[in-house]
Structures are given as structure tokens and as C-alpha cells.
């Protein structure tokens, strides 16, 4: 039988191992507490700092800072450095250094208030002392990934769309994988009417394929400016909701795109919060070699047929395949000839052109979001899927794009870039997708059965109020907790925030779900849409 002394030794050994494990897991916090350091930089009182500065002169310019051996983002407007931190942590992480001298933090109560300091965008004072000179600077910690774009010779990106050569580097503190990525790039302004906005959207093409922020591995990216997306929430929330809906149907090519937030700096200027978006292309949608991808960029088509494209190119682009001829336009033309009519008189014929499962989902999505800029063909990607069983070689699948005018938000006073919440849209029965509305005119029973069945299914989970509210809670907690939300609106002169309240979208979601519950149980003929 083992002695009491043996068991005592074993208990001591276990306690020592547990202590070592605790130290291993919490070494950053222990170092911070015992060493009075942050990011391996000493924190000193003003008296200590005054002593260290004695005999040194003000350098009069900013020092070169490195975070984990990489350059730190700098904003020349506010004259502040920005360091990314993971908000799920509770202690400062990383190593800060400078080739210009030794670094010292000025004592600050916010070093003990990790979450508050990040959320409030608190500016810490940092001194760099070396070679007879001192440098004073301010450092802000952000909870959002930081992207920096530097063009050659620091030239401003051309608003007319000319391509600028440069480099991009990204600090990702949110997703798993490489924390820091750097690559050469090309950048240009993108968009149509949005080109006139003060805050520009960009097309970003990297020199090599990279997976950014947990998104796909690619070289071609969209930087959405979110200038007219009040609350910065409508695009991302819409994409996520559509993704969830598409993931719970049997359609293979309709899941759409994803977006992640970043704080963007360009040529040492803070540009605000942007949406890094996967491009809507054949790769994103998983298209096969015989499939076709069209994107609608306008509302009108030519009155007279043009031999090469039937007049469709005025409002549509062919995004895939790259090489095409007149025949590539035929699936879209045949679909529009039948399904874009005011009234569909042959249900079976119309249904043969459509993936009906996708069409019902898209109509529900339009009705739910009231995405006024996405129902009348504009801002829709049309996939012509090849090789379907039945009389048609192709069936049309629709995927939404650019969803800032949604969830009760729209323009006001004729000012395109200014938006206002419209609570009356909660009870508005319109905004059906054009093809389903045309079919409903003569075949209400068929559409009602399909829609009611699908709505009931989605409401169990995907479109439950609890799930949608949880998604919103998480996004707003992230936007506000990172400090980026306030910085964006300060940078852009409070644009959008003067008329926006976060609770608007919660009110809309709750009210719209309740309204549609009743509406889909007792359908009413919607008014004809223009």
C-alpha cells in the first residue's frame, strides 16, 4: 500500500504542473501585470518620462514603429498610429518596437481597461527616445482588421478609373490563419453612380492569390465603401441572410458572396470602414464550363434588337465565359421574353426557364428585405445553368448583389447618397421579384403553395426572429466594440449617423416577419410594379 507521503508528493507535483500550465496559458497577462509593460514596452510615470527625456530634443517628426516586425498603420489626418487587437482576448498582444530608439508608454489607467480602450478609440501616449532626440506619438488600438494600400509615389487613386500600382498589407486579428499578409497590387475606383461619392469604392487586384479574412483564395477583390449603407450593416447582413437561405435549399449555384469588415488606410490617410467582398463570378458560384453568368447594371434594354446582343448589352454584362458570341445571349433573352412580361400566361413554359426553388427563395428575400434596387433586374446576377432535364437546356438562377437599399432604408429628398429609414415598408405588400409577380397574375394557386411551404420552413430557423436578432447583435457588437464604427463616421463628417439608429433594423425585422407571417397565409394580389 502506498504511503501518505507518496500521495502528498503526487499532489504537490500535480499542483506544480497546474501552475506551470497556468503560466504557459497566461504568460502575456502575467508579464503585463508584473513587468508593468504593454506589447513588451515599459509603462512609466510622467516623472520617470521627464527624467528619460532630459538631454534630448524634440525630433519634430514621427518615429518608425514596427508591430511584430511589420510597419504600423498611420493616419496623417489625426496623426495617430493604429494597432489591431483581437477583441476576444483580455490582454494586449504583440511586440512593439522602433528602429529610431527605445519605446516607453506614458502611464494610463486605460491599460487596465482592454475592452473599453478599444471600443472608445482611446489614444495612448508613446515616446521613442534615442540618439539625442525624442519622439512623441499617439497610438489607438482597434478591434477590426487593418488594411493598408500604398500606391507608387503616394499618388492619389484616380477617380476616373485608371489603375494605380502599389502594395497592400493586412493585419487580420479576427479569423484564423496568417495574422499579417503583404503583397503587390493594382487598385482602381469602381462603381457607377457611386463614383461621385466622397468615399470611394475600389477594385483590388493582388499579384498573387491570397485568402483574406477567412474568405476565398483569390487575387481579385471588391472594396465596398459603404458610404450609403447607414449603420454599415445592410450589405453584410443581407449577404449573410441570403447565404443562410441558399445553404438550406437544394440549388447548387446560388449561395452568393461574403463580406468582412476592415479599416482601410490609403497613403497614410484613414479611409474608414470598408467591406472586403468576394467577387460575384464563376468561381464564387461554382459554375461549370457551359454555364453562363449575366449581371444586370441597368433597368432598360434597347427597343430595337441588335444583331450581336439583341439589345441586352445596354443593361447587362456577360461575366462568364470570357469569350462569347450572339448565342451566349439567347438563354437570357428567352427567359426575359417570357418571364419579364407583365403577365405570364403559360405557367409550365415560364417554370421551365426558372429554377423554381431559387425563384421562390429570391422572391421571399425581396419581400423580406424590401431591397428596392434589386427587384427590377438591376443588381441581380443571373446564372444560366446548363444541362437541366426537361425541354430547356438552361434554367435561370438569381443571386442578389449590392444590397445597401434594404431593410427599410432608402433614399430621401431625391438625394441619391442620403438615406432614411422608412418604417411604413414593414406593412408594404409590394416588391415581389418581377418574374414571380408575372406568374402570380394568372397562376396564384401554384405560387401561393410553393411560397407558403417555403416560408414556413425558413421561419423555423433560418428566418426566425431569434436567429436574425442574434446575427445583428453580433455584428453591432463587433462594429461598436472595435471602435471602428465611431471612427468611420467621424472621418466622414457624421455621414449617415445623423438619421440612423441601430434599433431601426431590429424594428423592421420584427415587424416585417410578423407582417409576412400573416401575408403568406392570406395572399393578396400585389399592385403592378413599374
The pLDDT of residue 530: 41
- Does 213 lie in the same domain as 312? no
Using the 3D structure, point to which of 140, 168, 200 is the last residue of a domain: 140
User: Which of 233, 230, 239 has its CA nearest to residue 259?
Assistant: 239
Q: Is 85 exposed, middle or buried (0-12, 13-18, 19+ CB in 10 A)?
A: buried
Q: Rounded to whole angstroms, how far apart are CA atoms 261 and 240?
A: 13
- Does 162 lie in the same domain as 131? no
Q: Is 124 exposed, middle or buried (0-12, 13-18, 19+ CB in 10 A)?
A: buried
The C-alpha cell that represents 363 in the structure block: 422572391
Average pLDDT in the 267-293 region? 96
- Does 129 lie in the same domain as 152? no
In a domain, 188, yes or no: yes
- Does 514 lie in the same domain as 404? yes
Average pLDDT in the 350-376 region? 93
In a domain, 240, yes or no: no
In a domain, 311, yes or no: yes
- Does 188 lie in the same domain as 94? no
Would you say 75 and 268 are in contact if contact means Cβ atoms under 8 Å apart? yes
Q: Rounded to whole angstroms, how far apart are CA atoms 77 and 63?
A: 16
pLDDT 10s digits, 20-49: 665 454 444 444 444 699 999 999 999 999
Average pLDDT in the 44-66 region? 94
Q: Which residue has the higher pLDDT, 178 or 475?
A: 475
Using the 3D structure, point to which of 140, 156, 188 is the last residue of a domain: 140
In a domain, 175, yes or no: yes
The C-alpha cell that represents 273 in the structure block: 470602414
Residues 6+ apart with CB under 8 A from 64: 71, 98, 99, 100
- Does 481 lie in the same domain as 354? yes
The C-alpha cell that represents 163 in the structure block: 489603375
Pairing verdict, β 394-400 and 380-386:
antiparallel
The kind and range of the H/E element at 530 are none
The pLDDT of residue 406: 94
Average pLDDT in the 267-292 region? 96
The C-alpha cell that represents 518 in the structure block: 400573416
Over 90: is that where the pLDDT of 155 sits? no
Structural domain containing residue 60 = 21-140
- Does 218 lie in the same domain as 315? no
Q: Rounded to whole angstroms, how far apart are CA atoms 407 and 180?
A: 35
Would you say 101 and 130 are in contact if contact means Cβ atoms under 8 Å apart? yes
> Of 13-27, 224-238, 493-507, which gets the smallest average pLDDT?
13-27
Helix (H, G, I), strand (E, B) or coil at 120: helix
The pLDDT of residue 343: 87
Would you say 243 and 258 are in contact if contact means Cβ atoms under 8 Å apart? yes
**Residue located via cell numbers 401575408:** 519
Q: How many residues does the chain have?
A: 530
pLDDT 10s digits, 455-501: 999 999 999 999 999 999 999 999 999 999 999 999 998 666 778 89
Edge-to-edge order in the sheet of strand 96-98: 70-71, 65-67, 96-98
Q: Rounded to whole angstroms, how far apart are CA atoms 502 and 332?
A: 40
- Does 202 lie in the same domain as 99? no
The pLDDT of residue 491: 94
- Does 212 lie in the same domain as 104? no
In a domain, 241, yes or no: no
The kind and range of the H/E element at 250 are none
In a domain, 15, yes or no: no
Q: Rounded to whole angstroms, how far apart are CA atoms 316 and 312?
A: 6
The pLDDT of residue 420: 83
Using the 3D structure, point to which of 90, 116, 140 is the last residue of a domain: 140
Would you say 201 and 189 are in contact if contact means Cβ atoms under 8 Å apart? yes
Query: Into how many domains does the chain fold?
Result: 3
The pLDDT of residue 86: 93
Percent of the chain past pLDDT 90, that is, above it, reads 72
- Does 186 lie in the same domain as 43? no
In 40-114, beta strands by DSSP E: 41-44, 57-58, 65-67, 70-71, 73-75, 80-84, 96-98, 102-106
Give the mean pLDDT of the chain: 89
- Does 438 lie in the same domain as 507? yes
Residues 6+ apart with CB under 8 A from 405: 234, 371, 372, 373, 374, 411, 419
In a domain, 92, yes or no: yes
In a domain, 405, yes or no: yes
What's the chain's Rg over C-alpha atoms? 28
- Does 200 lie in the same domain as 78? no
Question: Please, what sign has the CA dihedral across residues 423, 424, 427, 430?
Answer: negative
Over 90: is that where the pLDDT of 307 sits? no
Q: Rounded to whole angstroms, how far apart are CA atoms 296 and 294?
A: 7
Amino acid at each position: 500500500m502506498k504511503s501518505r507521503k507518496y500521495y502528498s508528493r503526487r499532489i504537490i507535483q500535480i499542483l506544480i504542473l497546474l501552475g506551470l500550465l497556468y503560466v504557459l496559458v497566461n504568460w502575456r497577462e502575467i508579464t503585463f501585470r508584473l513587468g508593468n509593460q504593454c506589447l513588451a514596452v515599459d509603462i512609466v510615470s510622467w516623472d520617470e518620462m521627464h527624467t528619460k527625456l532630459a538631454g534630448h530634443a524634440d525630433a519634430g517628426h514621427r518615429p518608425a514603429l514596427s508591430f511584430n516586425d511589420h510597419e504600423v498603420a498611420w493616419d496623417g489626418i489625426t496623426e495617430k498610429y493604429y494597432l489591431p487587437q483581437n477583441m476576444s482576448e483580455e490582454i494586449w498582444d504583440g511586440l512593439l518596437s522602433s528602429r529610431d530608439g527605445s519605446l516607453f508608454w506614458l502611464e494610463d489607467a486605460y491599460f487596465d481597461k482592454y475592452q473599453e480602450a478599444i471600443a472608445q478609440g482611446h489614444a495612448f501616449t508613446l515616446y521613442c527616445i534615442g540618439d539625442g532626440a525624442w519622439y512623441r506619438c499617439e497610438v489607438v488600438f482597434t478591434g477590426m482588421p487593418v488594411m493598408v494600400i500604398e500606391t507608387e509615389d503616394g499618388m492619389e487613386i484616380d477617380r476616373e478609373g485608371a489603375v494605380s500600382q502599389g502594395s497592400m498589407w493586412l493585419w487580420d486579428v479576427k479569423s484564423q490563419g496568417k495574422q499579417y499578409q503583404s503583397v503587390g497590387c493594382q487598385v482602381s475606383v469602381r462603381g457607377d453612380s457611386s463614383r461621385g461619392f466622397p468615399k470611394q469604392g475600389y477594385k483590388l487586384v493582388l499579384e498573387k492569390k491570397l485568402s483574406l479574412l477567412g474568405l476565398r483564395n483569390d487575387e481579385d477583390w471588391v472594396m465596398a465603401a459603404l458610404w450609403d449603407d447607414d449603420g454599415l450593416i445592410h450589405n453584410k447582413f443581407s449577404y449573410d441572410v441570403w447565404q443562410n437561405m441558399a445553404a438550406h435549399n437544394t440549388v447548387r449555384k446560388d449561395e452568393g458572396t461574403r463580406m468582412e469588415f476592415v479599416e482601410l488606410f490609403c497613403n497614410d490617410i484613414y479611409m474608414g470602414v470598408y467591406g472586403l467582398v468576394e467577387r460575384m463570378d464563376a468561381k464564387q458560384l461554382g459554375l461549370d464550363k457551359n454555364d453562363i453568368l449575366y449581371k444586370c447594371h441597368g433597368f432598360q434594354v434597347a427597343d430595337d434588337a441588335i444583331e450581336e446582343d439583341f439589345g441586352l448589352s445596354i443593361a447587362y454584362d456577360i461575366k462568364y465565359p470570357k469569350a462569347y458570341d450572339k448565342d451566349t445571349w439567347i438563354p437570357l433573352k428567352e427567359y426575359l421574353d417570357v418571364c419579364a412580361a407583365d403577365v405570364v400566361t403559360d405557367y409550365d413554359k415560364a417554370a421551365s426557364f426558372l429554377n423554381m426553388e431559387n425563384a421562390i427563395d429570391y422572391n421571399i428575400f425581396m419581400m423580406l428585405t424590401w431591397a428596392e434596387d434589386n427587384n427590377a433586374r438591376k443588381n441581380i446576377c443571373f446564372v444560366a445553368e446548363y444541362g437541366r432535364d426537361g425541354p430547356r437546356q438552361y434554367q435561370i438562377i438569381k443571386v442578389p448583389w449590392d444590397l445597401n437599399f434594404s431593410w427599410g432604408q432608402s433614399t430621401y429628398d431625391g438625394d441619391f447618397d442620403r438615406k432614411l429609414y422608412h418604417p411604413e415598408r414593414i406593412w408594404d405588400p409590394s416588391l415581389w421579384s418581377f418574374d414571380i409577380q408575372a406568374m402570380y397574375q394568372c397562376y396564384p394557386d401554384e405560387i401561393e403553395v410553393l411560397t407558403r411551404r417555403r416560408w414556413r420552413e425558413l421561419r423555423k430557423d433560418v428566418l426566425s426572429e431569434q436567429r436574425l436578432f442574434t446575427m445583428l447583435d453580433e455584428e453591432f457588437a463587433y462594429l461598436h466594440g472595435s471602435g471602428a464604427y465611431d471612427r468611420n463616421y467621424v472621418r466622414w463628417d457624421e455621414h449617415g449617423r445623423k438619421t440612423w439608429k441601430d434599433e431601426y433594423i431590429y424594428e423592421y425585422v420584427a415587424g416585417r416577419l410578423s407582417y409576412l407571417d400573416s401575408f403568406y397565409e392570406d395572399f393578396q394580389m400585389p399592385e403592378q410594379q413599374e
